[in-house]
Amino acid sequence: MYQPKPEWLKIKARSSSMTDDVAQLLSSLSLHTVCEEANCPNLLECFGRSTATFMILGRVCTRNCTFCNVSKGVAKPPDPDEPAHVAQAVAALKLRHVVITSATRDDLEDGGAGHFARTIEAVRSVNRKTVIEVLIPDFQGSTASLETVVSAAPRIINHNIETVPGMYPEVRPMAVYERSLALLEKVKAIDSSMLTKSGIMLGLGETEPEVLDVFSDLRKAGCDFLTAGQYLAPSKQHHPVVEYVHPEVFAGYKEKALAMGFRHVAASPLVRSSYMADQAIEK
C-alpha cells in the first residue's frame, strides 16, 4: 500500500553550476557514479560539493536484489582505461576523500577484485593524500579476491550488510548474511590496521531487536563505522517501503550503536553508505 513521504524525507530541489561541471566531467571520462545509478536523494548536494562515489566495472549487476535500482543482466567486460579515468576525475575534482564501489560481478573470476586494486593504485598515483574508501561486493566469499583489495591498501573497506538476516530471502536472495559478516571479519584478519565499515537500510519490515542484533554482529566482526538510512523504493517493481522510520528512532539507534563501540555512526533518514563519507575518518 502506497505511503506518502513524511516531511522529514522531502528534499528541496536545488542545483548549481558545480553540479553540471561534475556531471560533464564524469561523462567526458565515460565514468558512472552510484549517485546516479541508485537515484541517491543526496546527488545534487554531493555533486555541488565536488564529491562523487565512483561506480566501476560497468552499470550492470549480476545479482537480483529487490531494493536496488542498478540495472540487472549480462555485464560487459571491465574497461581497462577505467582506473586511469577515475584517477583523472579525482585529480580534477581535488578530492580529499574518494569512494569507489561497483555492481556485483559474479561473472568475473575474481569478482572484479583486480580492477578495484588497479583503481586504488591509479588514484594513489595522482594524489597520495587522498583518502581512499572502497565499497565492495562479497566476492562470493573468496579470500583470495579480498586479499587482492586489502593488499592495494585503501584506508577504509566498506561492505554493506543492507538489512537484517530475516529479510535476506526477500531483499538479497543471492547474498548470504553470514558471508557478509565473515568478509568484514576477514579484512581485520588480513590487515588489523584496516578500517571497516558497513551500512543498513531501515523500513523494509525489520524489527528493532533484529536491527540491534545486526549492530552487535557487526561489532563482533570488528566493524569500525556504521551507516543507517531510510529505504526508499526506486519503483513499484522494487521491494515496498513498509515503514518510514522517524528521525528520533534513527537518533536512538545511533546512541545504541555508539554505546556498542562503533567509532563513528551516521544514522538518519537521508543517510546513505557514502554520504559525507569523509566525516567518519576526520572524526
Task: Answer yes or no: is 259 within a domain.
Answer: yes
Side-chain-facing half-sphere of 16: CA atoms under 13 Å: 11
174-177: long-range contacts, CB 8 A cutoff, minimum separation 24: 174/63, 174/64, 174/65, 174/106, 175/63, 175/65, 175/138, 176/138, 176/141
User: Judging by DSSP bridges, how do beta strands 156-158 and 131-135 pair with one another?
Assistant: parallel
**Is-contact 227 256, C-beta < 8 A?**
no
The segment with the largest mean pLDDT, out of 5-14, 62-71, 129-138, 266-275, is 129-138
Average pLDDT over residues 257-278: 87
- Say how many domains are in the chain: 1
**pLDDT given at position 46:** 62
Q: Is 173 a member of any domain?
A: yes
Per-residue confidence (pLDDT) for residue 17, from 0 to 100 = 56
Q: Is residue 5 part of a domain?
A: no
Query: 177 in a domain, yes or no?
Result: yes
Q: Looking at per-residue confidence, does 15 or 267 come out higher?
A: 267
User: What mean pLDDT do residues 98-113 have?
Assistant: 94
Q: How far apart are CA 197 and CA 264, in angstroms?
A: 9
Which pLDDT does position 50 carry in this prediction?
56
Closest CA to 275 of 227, 231, 203, 204: 227
Q: What is the mean pLDDT of residues 31-52?
A: 60
Between helices 208-220 and 247-260, what is the axis angle to 10°?
30
DSSP label of 229: E
Provide the mean pLDDT of the chain: 87
Q: Could you tell me the residue range of the domain that residue 119 belongs to?
A: 15-282
User: If you average pLDDT over residues 94-115, what whole number do you get?
Assistant: 92
Query: Does residue 36 surpass a pLDDT of 60?
Result: no
Q: Give yes or no for residue 70 having a pLDDT over 80.
A: no
140, 101 Cβ separation under 8 angstroms: no
Give the model's confidence band at 43: pLDDT under 50 very low, under 70 low, under 90 confident, else very high: low
pLDDT for the residue numbered 49: 57
Cα-flanking dihedrals φ and ψ of residue 260, to 5°?
Answer: -75, -15
As a 3-state breakdown, the chain gives helix, strand, coil percent values, each rounded to 5, of 40, 15, 45
On whether residue 273 sits in a domain, the answer given is yes
Residue 91 lies in a domain: yes
> Which of 38-47, 83-92, 173-182, 218-227 has the weakest average pLDDT?
38-47
Of 2-16, 101-115, 171-185, the poorest mean pLDDT is in: 2-16
**Which is nearest to 254 in space by CA: 205, 192, 196, 212?**
212
Q: Which helix (H) or strand (E) holds 156?
A: strand 156-158
pTM of the model: 0.90
Residue 59 has pLDDT above 90, yes or no: no
Q: What is the pLDDT of residue 72?
A: 77
Rounded mean pLDDT of 130-150?
Answer: 96
| 256 within a domain of the structure (yes/no) | yes
Write the pLDDT tens digit of every residue in 194-219: 999 999 999 999 999 999 999 999 99
- The CATH number assigned to the domain holding 99 equals 3.20.20.70
Task: Name beta bridge partners: 157.
Answer: 134, 196
- What span, in angstroms and rounded, lies between the C-alpha atoms of 265 and 253? 9
pLDDT tops 80 at residue 189: yes
Per the domain annotation, does 227 fall within a domain?
yes
